Structure 1
Amino acid sequence: MKKSLITILFACASTMSAQVIIGDAVGTATTKTSVLLEFAANQNKGLIVPYVRIIPQSPAEGTILLDVSTPTAARMKMYNANTAYGTSGWLDLSGKGADITDAMTVQPNFSSAPESSSTKTIIGDVTSPANGVLVLESAIKAMVLPIVSDVQDILSPSPGMMIYVNKPGSKRLAVYNGAVWSFWRGDFPSGQTP
């Protein structure tokens, strides 16, 4: 009986997959087998990445943040470890700086809200070597960004917001640095080249 129970529990555990849907129980992905994190449909909301005053020196590849080391020139950045084009591994997703000095007055600083690199939320596994506020740990699953029809549908975007625009003829990633939306459909922001 004990062996049967253990076998059943093991079989159930091996077929389970971690998935989180924020906003409802349905999400946007029609097939859920490769989804780790997704968001409710038709919400006209986005995902806001962390505001970072000091850029990490050796982050995990795929780290996305709002660089506010100079609050008058905030930029969305992604770490891809590719040092081509003089990026030091950090790729500027914004293409232009934004003055978010006013927004920074309501953000906690290190002395009022100290951080610990060991404090993190992991989705997809029990542990992860990566540091981050939210770590998606999976070799076969990914996050589906919040989907909107048009950036104009988000009435008051916040600095550091990311969305996927699902507009006919214009499907792309969009990031907001606090002043302008930047759109991605390949390796570089629309209109920019290395």
Structure 2
Amino acid sequence: MKKIYSTICLVIASFCFSQIIISDNIGTASNKTSVLLEFASQNKGIILPYNRTLPSGSGLVEGTILLDATDPLNATVKYYNGTWQDLSSGNGANVGSYLSIQPSTVVEDTTKGAIIGAPTSSANGVLILESATKAMVLPMVQTTDAIPDPAPGMIVYINNPGGKRLAVFNGSKWTFWMPS
């Protein structure tokens, strides 16, 4: 009986599709079939993890994004695509005051993290989105001026008809990436 019940549950689960929308039940994407994680429109962004040491090794995967605080006086937003790439266009920021309020002696358990989209992942991270067919929709804003107090490492998508683009904040200035 347990095997029959387990089989029925697995069959039902295989037909279920899930998506996580943070902050409301509507989100911003009109077509949700390719969305794994989505945020409501609310003039807020995602704050990337601050790293005092750039990650390396076998658990590092392409697509990793973080605030590189190895030099707190010249912090930059970076992403990994085989090598670390600067998203701040070389404009470093002083994030020393932000780092002083964060614990500096915490030993991170790299075997723990939230995985969305799969039961397991070979990647190490705080939040891992694991899907071959779905993506994350970034928080959308009309302008970065609408964000009252951006924090270093914040990332948003500007959804303005006159200028749709990605924006990252390194602690002192926004850097904008427009589609080509």
TM-score by length of structure 1 reads 0.86
Q: Which residue of 1 aligns with 2:114?
A: 121
Q: Which residue of 1 aligns with 2:67?
A: 66
Question: Does 2:35 correspond to 1:31?
Answer: no
Number of residue-to-residue matches in the alignment: 177
1:192 equivalent in structure 2: none
Kept in 2: contact 1:18–1:123 (CA 8 A)? no
> Within the alignment, does 1:105 sit opposite 2:100 as a pair?
yes
Counterparts of 1:145 and 1:69, CA distance in 2: 26
State the distance in 1 between where 2:159 and 2:123 align.
30
Runs of 4+ off more than 3 Å: 1-8
Identity among equivalent positions (%) equals 53
Other structure's SS at 1:152 match: helix
Q: Is the 8 A contact 1:122 1:135 kept in 2?
A: yes
Q: CA deviation at 1:39?
A: 0.7
Contact 1:49 1:65 in 2 (8 A): yes
Structure 2 unaligned residues grouped into runs of 5+: none
**CA deviation after TM superposition for structure 1 residue 16, in Å:** 1.3
Question: With structure 2 as the length reference, what TM-score do the two structures score?
Answer: 0.92
Map 1:124-163 → 2, pairs under 5 A: 124-163=117-156
Q: Which amino acid aligns with 1:153?
A: A
Structure 1 distance, partners of 2:134, 2:80, is 19
Structure 2 counterpart of 1:175, from 141, 153, 168: 168
Q: Give ranges in structure 1 of 5+ residues lacking alignment.
A: 82-88, 188-194
**What is the CA deviation profile of residues 73-130 of structure 1, one whole-angstrom value per residue up to 9, with x for unaligned ones?**
000000011xxxxxxx111000110011111111111x2x210110111000110000
Residue 5 of structure 1: CA displacement?
5.3
Say whether 1:91 aligns with 2:92: no
In the alignment, the residues of structure 2 paired with residue 10 and residue 17 of structure 1 have an alpha-carbon distance, to the nearest angstrom, of 13
C-alpha separation in 2, matches of 1:51 and 1:27: 27
